[in-house]
Chains A and B, each alone.
Chain A
Amino acid sequence: MTDHPRTGTVVRFIEDCSDCGMEPHPSDSWKLAGKLDLLRIRGEILHLIRLFFRERHYLEVETPVLIPAPAPEPHIDAVACGDRYLQTSPELCMKRLLAAGYPRIFQVCRCFREAERGSRHLPEFTMLEWYAAERDYRFLMDECEALLRFLSGALYGKEEFTYRGRSMRLSDSWERLSVEQAFRTYGGLSVREALAEDCFDEVLVSRIEPNLGKERPTFLYDYPVELASLARTKEADPRVAERFELYLGGIELANAFSELIDSREQALRFEEAQQQQVALGKRPYPWPGRFIEALSAMPPSAGIALGVDRLVMLLTDQASVDDVVAFPPETL
């Protein structure tokens, strides 16, 4: 042993590892230890979320992670697990609870999506979903405002925080921008034109999103109906559905609907989604029959899914979701 037995051991361990091609373990512990402050705030945010919803008389529920039939979505791929799937969202089970008479429910849970990995994406991530009976998506906009103000107030003592050098003011009235307005203002074309030219996603990502939620959060609302397979269509305009996405600092944080409760319409939309899956060379999931059945008893409702990792990333001014989870998948 040398004068520094610990160092000596570490060095020898690293040398041993280099022989067998393993990554030396000690460097990982060190990185993990460096996340302590951020993970403390993450824990605090999870606690505050539960406090917020309990005070608003929401019931915290848990639904299975392992499910037989995820909602068919052309661009969300579930991870198969035996003859079932890991949930991509708890949506279908949450709605069955709504239909069974649970009017205010929320859940914080793990969701899994195949091949989603980037600075804003983890293939396993934490989702917050909440549902309110007898309400529509406008009510959820108000609740988003209340939740973010509450979290920022509890963490920093003010309704304002800084993200990547830019101040995000939560107390001002939040911007509400329709998808159509956004495409015309920032994209230079209409939604219908974008859909016809098959460039909706590209225009949204490259030209529109960077302009959303710059100084205050933005609700981007009223999506074309073909991009909202679980949302109710707008009475005044059946080509759009009552769906919104919440953006802060150009980052999409939450997705909400006035829920579609017409079971026949829902079955048709799912069939279309399945056909799109097939056209993309994917195998459609089993038919979610029990969900469709339950839908006929579901009251008019609004529901929302919010990415907790991104929420923590925003509130702690981090560049990547990797910074606010203990174990990004590559470190396992």
Chain B
Amino acid sequence: MYSASDLRKNLRVKLEGDPYIITEFNFVKPGKGQALYRCKLKNMITGNQFERTFRSVDVFEPADLQEKKMQYLYEEGGQYHFMDNASYEQLALSADQVGDAVNFLIDNLEVEILLFEDKPLGISLPNFVDLTVTRADPWAKGDSVSGNSKPVILQTGYQIQAPPFIEEGEKIRVDTRTGEYLTRVKG
């Protein structure tokens, strides 16, 4: 159990059955008054945010959260299946839970799955993923005006702006945090 004096930014606590992360924290104490702990909390399942003020007598259950390394297997009927390579245990996430990560999910990609009481909450990707270009307009040689880019479509269906020299069948490295093209991957 945590007491109010343990509260701090980024602490994860369980409130009314849900996991919350403290996104802002402030210790306040009006003159001669009692210590108050002002928190902004974000529900880790729904994303809802709210502010609440706690007193020093309040106690909190830690949110039982863990991150597990898992491998992406396949998608079926809007469910995304992952497997723990050590235990062969499998679990599935909904499209909502996967979110934008769907743009970078390629077979066998190793990701971190965030679990709350063994239920999956979300997914964190490696910062860089290499993806194959499945559609791109051919490079009109001589069109080398710097700063030019063209849309290409990747194996996941994700459309991205890439330099004009990128051709179909090539692999490119994408930064999953910004969703942007980084470099061409040879070989």
> Measuring CB to CB, which residues of chain A are less than 8 angstroms from any residue of chain B?
73-76, 115-121, 200-202, 204-206, 209, 227-229, 245, 252, 255, 280
Contact = CB atoms under 8 A, between A and B. Distances in A.
B53 to A, nearest CB: 5
A267 to B, nearest CB: 19
A206 B38 contact: yes
A118 B27 contact: yes
Interface in B31-80: 31-36, 38, 51, 53, 56-57
A204 B31 CA distance: 10
Contact of B36 (A74, A201, A229, A280): A201
Interface of B: 5, 26-36, 38, 51, 53, 56-57
Nearest to B31: A255
B58 to A, nearest CB: 12
B30 A204 contact: yes
Contacts of A252: 30-31
Contact of A116 (B26, B29, B51, B53): B29
B27 A117 contact: yes
Contacts of B33: 75, 200-201, 204-205, 227
Contacts, number: 55
Contact of B27 (A121, A201, A202, A228): A121
A228 B32 contact: yes
B32 A202 contact: no
B51 to A, nearest CB: 8
A120 B31 contact: no
B113 to A, nearest CB: 31
Contact of A227 (B32, B35, B56, B57): B32
Given A115-B5, A202-B53, A206-B53, A73 B30 contact: no
Contacts of A119: 26-27
7 contacts: A117-B27, A118-B28, A120-B28, A201-B30, A204-B30, A227-B32, A227-B33
Nearest to B28: A205
B39 to A, nearest CB: 12
B6 to A, nearest CB: 11
